[in-house]
Amino acid sequence: MKKIVMKFGGTSVASGENIRYVANLITNYVSQGYTIVAVISALEGVTDKLIEASEQAKKGNRNYIYEFKKEIIEKHLTATRKAVENKPIREEIEQTLKTTIDELEKVLTGIIYVGELTPKSRDYVLSFGERLSTSIVWGTLRDLGLNAQYYTGKDVGIVTDSNFGEASPLMNVTKHQVKEKIEPLLEKGIVPVVTGYIAATQDGVNTTLGRGGSDYTATIIGAALDVDEVWIWTDVDGLMTSDPKIVSSAKKMPELSFQEATEMTIFGARAMHPRALEPAMEENIPVRIRNVFNPENLGTLIVEEQRIKPGDIVKAITLVKDVALVNVSGAGMIGAPGTAAKVFDVLGRENINILMISQSVSEANISFMIQRKLLERTVNALEIALLGRGLIREVTAEDDVCVVAVVGAGMRGTPGVASRIFSAIALRGINIRMIAQGSSELNISFVVEETDGEEAVRAIHEEFKLDKI
């Protein structure tokens, strides 16, 4: 029978009722003979609250921490009362939650005393969200008669580097340790319930895998155990051909490749942690995105070898907002090796991430896209570092733009895709400001005025008849 890692996050564990519902779902799969490892995220909104609390602690805001503690206790106790019916189990979980929150309060008090919040102590604070939620799910599963056991990511052997806030797993050690730890449990019929998002360095110091990191935990464990599939349970039916708020006829995609999914997560489809597909890709483990509230629907399956159907050219279109276009120009750039390196070096040093790049063969200008909130810093940094040195004459910027990204593995080697995209855009009278296509040919991205963005997405969706797929 199938071995599955299931990750539950966001709204699927938003309340006690939902936790009970999720626990029933897990129990059903177990009784059908599935072997399951459950990975749990923090209750909805809790990670954001922990971030705010750690900031307030740094500022010495004792009142805030006092109120925060009351709120966080109440939220988790309420959920427990709704989720766990058996009295002794419920009391045990309530006690665990209280002890855990006392520990959290001590950490926050420590931050108040030293008046300093290091990335390390911040990760310690953030680890509490998953510790609390997972305890409740664990209690609920036991209440339903399942032989479940609670573990943190650290307990099961997920080891990372010490890049706090965005730590990377050391996959070789991790895979070995997770296998050693979890396999004997599964053989004994135990259902491990594991905190998502949190892990530890080799010295045992708490780390987190970056926002949305529970997905990553799930695929790391999945890779270590060589499971049949990893299921990411969320509150949508799967990945869509486009945002249904923009294109009302948008459809769920039944299947796509790891590469296509990677292009989509990068371009803000936000369905998953951007790096979560890596471990799955490496071990070739299919990942399924499914709706916890609609389990009859099989969701979207992400696989290595996606079957390209004839006519399957463009798969999905995303609109990326809150971006800005920066243009660096000057005749001195022509034929001058190292110009691009200088420009990007400045951005790298300023920690500014580039979303998209284009340079025409005339070499007289380089255009790139960044997050809009970084615009002022970007222009300043470039002007200070590069202007008046004969190379660059001007740095200009536009912030009323957006990126349309068109994704699909069938685009590769298919002539005429770009022409169809741009004709569809032209027919609607929309002007294109900048274009980029990587040589992977999986993605064509272009920039239009912000007010034209949604219309451009609809035009392409219609041109490739994505509502009929």
- For the chain, helix (H) and strand (E) counts, in that order, are 13, 16
With beta carbons less than 8 A apart as the criterion, state whether 98 and 67 touch.
no
Which among ligand ASP, Mg ion, none contacts residue 196 (Cβ within 5 to 8 A by kind)?
A: ligand ASP
Q: Considering the complex, state which of residue 261 and residue 375 has its C-beta at the smaller distance from ligand ASP.
A: 261
The 7-26 contact track toward Mg ion, x by CB under 5 A, reads --x-----------------
What is the C-alpha separation between 160 and 242, in angstroms, rounded?
Answer: 35
Q: Shortest Cβ distance from residue 12 to ligand ASP (Å)? A: 11
**Residue with smallest beta-carbon separation from ligand ASP:** 214
- Map residue 380 onto helix, strand or coil: helix
214 vs 367 by CB, closer to ligand ASP: 214
Least Å distance between CB 43 and ligand ASP?
Answer: 9
Binding partner of 197, given ligand ASP, Mg ion, none, CB within 5-8 angstroms per partner class? ligand ASP
The DSSP annotation for 66-93 comes to HHHHHHHHHHHHHHHHHH--SHHHHHHH
Q: What's the CA gap between 261 and 301, in Å, rounded?
A: 10
Quote the least distance from Cβ 214 to ligand ASP, whole Å. 3
Report how far residue 398's alpha carbon sits from residue 379's, in angstroms, rounded to the nearest whole number. 11
| Beta carbon of residue 233, minimum distance to ligand ASP (angstroms, whole number) | 12
Pick what 174 binds: Mg ion, ligand ASP, none; C-beta below 5 to 8 Å, kind-dependent: none
| Rounded least distance, CB 238 to Mg ion, Å | 18
Phi, then psi, of 149 in degrees rounded to 5: -135, 140
| Cβ nearer to ligand ASP, comparing 6 with 430 | 6
Q: Which two tokens stand for residue 295?
A: 């389990």
The site partner of 405 among ligand ASP, Mg ion, none (C-beta below 5 to 8 Å per kind) is none
Taking the least distance from each CB to ligand ASP, the nearer of 131 and 461 is 131
CA distance 184 to 123: 30
Query: For residue 128, how many other CB atoms are within 10 A of its CB?
Result: 24
Residue bearing tokens 């009302």 = 248
Contact indicator for 230, 286 with CB cutoff of 8 Å: yes
Task: Answer with the entry of Mg ion, ligand ASP, none that 12 interacts with (C-beta below 5 to 8 A by kind).
Answer: none
Q: How far is the CB of 44 from ligand ASP (least distance, A)?
A: 9
Which among 31, 262, 42, 283 is positioned nearest to 147, based on CA atoms? 31
Nearest approach, Cβ of 41 to ligand ASP (angstroms)?
4
By DSSP bridging, strand 3-8 and strand 35-40 are: parallel
Residue with tokens 């019916």: 85
Name which of Mg ion, ligand ASP, none residue 211 binds, using a CB cut-off of 5 to 8 Å depending on partner kind: ligand ASP
Nearest-approach distance from CB 158 to ligand ASP, in angstroms: 14
The CA-CA-CA angle for residues 465, 322, 345, to 5°, reads: 110
Listing DSSP states for 154-220 in one string gives: TTTT-BB-S-TTS--B-HHHHHHHHHHHHHHHHHTT-EEEEESSEEE-TT--EEE--TTTHHHHHHH
Provide the binding-site residues for ligand ASP, judged by CB under 6 A. 9, 41-42, 47, 129, 196-197, 211-214
The closest of 352, 344, 353 to 385, measured between CA atoms, is 344
**Residue 196 vs 330, nearer CB to ligand ASP:** 196
Closest C-alpha among 318, 316, 217, 323 to residue 275: 217
Binding mask 119-138 for Mg ion (x = CB under 5 A): --------------------
Residue 126 or 430: which CB sits closer to Mg ion? Answer: 126
Nearer to ligand ASP, 192 or 196 (CB): 196
Q: How far is the CB of 197 from Mg ion (least distance, A)?
A: 8
Site for Mg ion in 321-360 (CB under 5 A): none
Tokens linked to 143:
């209440």
CB of 10 to Mg ion, least distance (A): 5
Contact in structure between 369 and 324 (CB atoms under 8 Å) = yes
Contact set for Mg ion, span 28-67 (CB under 5 A)? 41
Residues that bind Mg ion (CB under 5 A): 9, 41
